[in-house]
Amino acid sequence: MSDYRTPLKDILFALEQAGLPTLATLPGLEHATPDMVEGVLAEAGRFMEEVVAPINRSGDEHGSRVEGDAVITAPGFKEAYDKYVEAGWGVLPFPEHLGGGDFPGLIGLAVQEMLQSASMAFSLGPLLTQGAIDALMEHGSEELQQTYLPNMVSGVWAGTMNLTEPHAGSDLGHISSKALPQDDGSFRISGQKIFITFGEHDLTENIIHLVLAKTPDSPPGTKGISMFVVPKFLLNADGSLGERNEVKVVSVEHKLGIHGSPTCVMSFGDEDGAIGYLVGEENHGMRYMFTMMNAARLSVGMQGLAISERAYQQALAYAHERKQGAEIGGTKGEMVPIVRHPDVRRMLITQRAYIQAMRHLMYENAMLMDTVRRSPDADVVAAAEARSDLLIPLSKAWSTDLGVENTSLAVQVHGGMGYVEETGVAQHWRDSRIAPIYEGTNGIQAMDLVGRKLGLHGGETVRQHIGWIGESASLAAEAGFDSMKAQIEEGLSKVTEATMFMVGSVGDPKSALAGATPYLRLFAQVTGGAYMARAAVAAKAKVEAGEDPEYHGEVIALSEFYIDQLMPQVFGLVPSITAGADQLFDIEL
């Protein structure tokens, strides 16, 4: 079983392509210079390698367990979390006045990649806390912020999101949790929530739950949802921990993967009702959720990339160690490492190429979000927000689908030993499988792309993106990459044809949604080709300048492989995109 090693060169190159040098020109980010960022990321990588990566296996083997009203996490999790908090890695992207590092979200995402590669299950605790912090920063009253955020930002307290109920999964309009108003302005919360990541654990002294519930006489459906802060422990007047609130864990799910992450069934208010405090206004809870959605979906997309990286590293190490068969054209009877065999190399390079394409996509997405938060230019903000919104379903769905594919390839590289749990690589495949499901299934992401994002600004956003793909082909041609130009132009024609069908299906939404998932795959894979072409152009300039020619030569070769061998695999999806819905409903199920 291989250790995790931070791919710092790949990360820094992708950050540069995403616009790292311009970050320090945004207001409040003057400290985020490339040299400063490189130093921070190098240290973060060392921490993840030495502290977090070693507990990934124990988390899978031992999982977490319920003891009374408590959940005991896997061996090593508590110690690693304490070191994580002490080192301050969780505070990086938050405002300085709350004790944060005031670093850009782009750098926070790069650190998040390292954390998730080191241990996806462990990373989910800080990830959920970050989501809860974002919600309170955006919508909580000043009193709620002052009461809860400093300890949540520091990591002394954790946060969760309580949305799903047994009868209401993605359709949150049917939640039945109740919130009854009290004379002192608080609410009494009652109901049960399921699939609550780190809903109960022993890592922090308090857990701040954000709970969706409905107040009396609220409108039906999602319009009647409100959001509440429900702390595990209530607070005394001086801010110290008081009595236990009526919040308890019922059970911990037994899952396919991410065993180290306690996925809890939570019960609120079995007797008098758990005490909760309204976030923002009544009946606005769903809108508040949507303000966090992009960041959360980007983080989940990063899980697809991160778990791919970890699995790829393990498969690569095994391919160098495992000897089997003679090399084609080599000495007869001489066994060689399997990395010398063409099909094994195909699987390994496929993983690596997809990883880098995903990295370019998600890092630009994060850079756009930083621009929205920091730029003083309203026109720049509007353009960045529109492009970011378009890319989010790609970042989430394409990357998590690829996470499953890449980890499966890593198992395949191991052959029969990949199917044996002791090897450890099967864990990565099992861990990856949840990511296409949560934070909006990938089918929902495809419907979002087709139903909402293609129509942004009257279709202008997608037209500009298609133009950007065409510009990528032109840049490739100018740099002498004629094959790249031809393949990207072919991909562009397929995307254009499919997009025209989708836009023309406004009056037949069933047909559009029937082709939404293959459409997203086509759209994302060709977009990935455009990123890889631009990476090749940048890498060629560095080779010509004598800047690490070996590494940047590999960037070019990897880009050529992606564009020549991986991108064209989706060109044949156009007939399934444009087939309509009739066949889906002609077959009796």
Q: Which residues are catalytic?
A: 439
Specify the residue for token string 């009647």: 224
One-letter identity of residue 158: A
| Closest CA relative to residue 132, chosen from 94, 104, 78, 166 | 94
Contact 532, 555 (CB under 8 A): no
**184: how many CB neighbours lie within 10 A of its CB?**
7
Q: How is residue 168 annotated by DSSP?
A: B
> Is residue 144 packed enough to be buried (19+ CB in 10 Å), middle (13-18) or exposed (0-12)?
middle
Contact 260, 77 (CB under 8 A): yes
The alpha carbon dihedral of 425, 430, 433, 435 has a sign of negative
φ and ψ of 231, to 5 deg: -75, 150
φ and ψ of 582, to 5 deg: -60, -45
Which residues have CB under 8 Å from 450's CB, separation 6+? Answer: 502, 512, 513, 515, 516, 519, 520
Across 301-435, where does the E strand assignment appear? 323-326, 335-337
| Strand (E) or helix (H) holding 267 | strand 263-268
Contact 253, 265 (CB under 8 A): yes
**DSSP result, 566-580:** IGGGGGGGHHHHSS-
